[in-house]
Amino acid sequence: MEDGPRRGTAPLDAGEAEELRSLRRRAFSPDADIHLDAAASARLDELEARALPSPPPPPPAPPPASPAGPGAAARHTSATGAATDILLIPADEDDADSAATAGDDVEPRRVRRPRPAATWAASLVGALVIGAGITAGVMGAAADGGGIRQVATLNVDEEFQAPMFMDPEASSVRGFEDFYGMVVMASDQKWLGPGSDECLVITAGGDISYQSQAFQGRLFVGCGAGEFPASAQFTVSPGLPRDLIAAFPVGTPLQFVLDGSRVGVFVGQETTVEAGGAGG
């Protein structure tokens, strides 16, 4: 009756773990081509499923009722759900009960609000002139057009816990302060992109599991090349963290630029998408 491997029933050996990393590179890197290879896509699904932890056993049945004296209290078994599964559900499945269960099992990450951009630079142009905040060379990566301004500088989070899908034991993974629910990381993982320079990896915090190598969500990745710093950009869209959308409406472009031990965050002009419009 089973159509594929059950979660956690066949743990990955070293060779299969390396194969999974290779398939992820084909799926998530800038030159991704796995969509052209049905067999590779099926193999990735198989290994991802096996990388998931085994589902928790069902809670034990309550003991049969027995005569009790006055004042005897009934005992109830508390079922604690699988926190890993909760973190890996697709973004469009909004299950409030599951989210409550995840809070019981997973130690919550301490979320820090990004420091105001004014702390580091009055504006992009001002920072280029006075040299405050991020270096002029790095800021130049974000200063290609008008209407761009710096909104935050994210420092390294010394208490950052690297998620399993980043394979923290195999490479150096640094985490930065959270940005309105978005997790910002830098890594030299080869599957992230070509070259040997560090790459920026950005994803929604709710898509991350800290107990499994499986990943289900959206990754925004950009790698450095020589004198050009690593940068990643995306347009705010539905499905991203509510805090981010509240601060930056849907249609707002954001760019993250790596500068050593800091990441600069820049915002462009919001693009309004009209319903039914062709947009040229």
Q: Residue 264: its pLDDT value, please?
A: 96
To 10 degrees, what angle do helices 38-51 and 14-28 make?
Answer: 120
Q: What's the CA angle centered on 173, arms 208 and 169, to 5 degrees?
A: 90
- Residue 1 clears pLDDT 50, i.e. is over it: no
User: Domain residue spans in the chain?
Assistant: 14-51, 115-267
Claim: this prediction has a pTM higher than 0.85: no
Q: Quick one: average pLDDT of 25-46?
A: 79
Most confident of the ranges 38-42, 70-74, 145-149, 251-255: 251-255
- Residue 232 clears pLDDT 70, i.e. is over it: yes
**Is residue 126 very low, low, confident or very high in pLDDT (cuts 50, 70, 90)?**
very low
Cα–Cα distance between 265 and 2 in angstroms, integer?
A: 46
CA distances from 79 to 11, 74, 85 (A): 25, 16, 15
Q: Quick one: average pLDDT of 131-140?
A: 41
Nearest CA among 277, 220, 224, 273 for reference residue 249 = 273
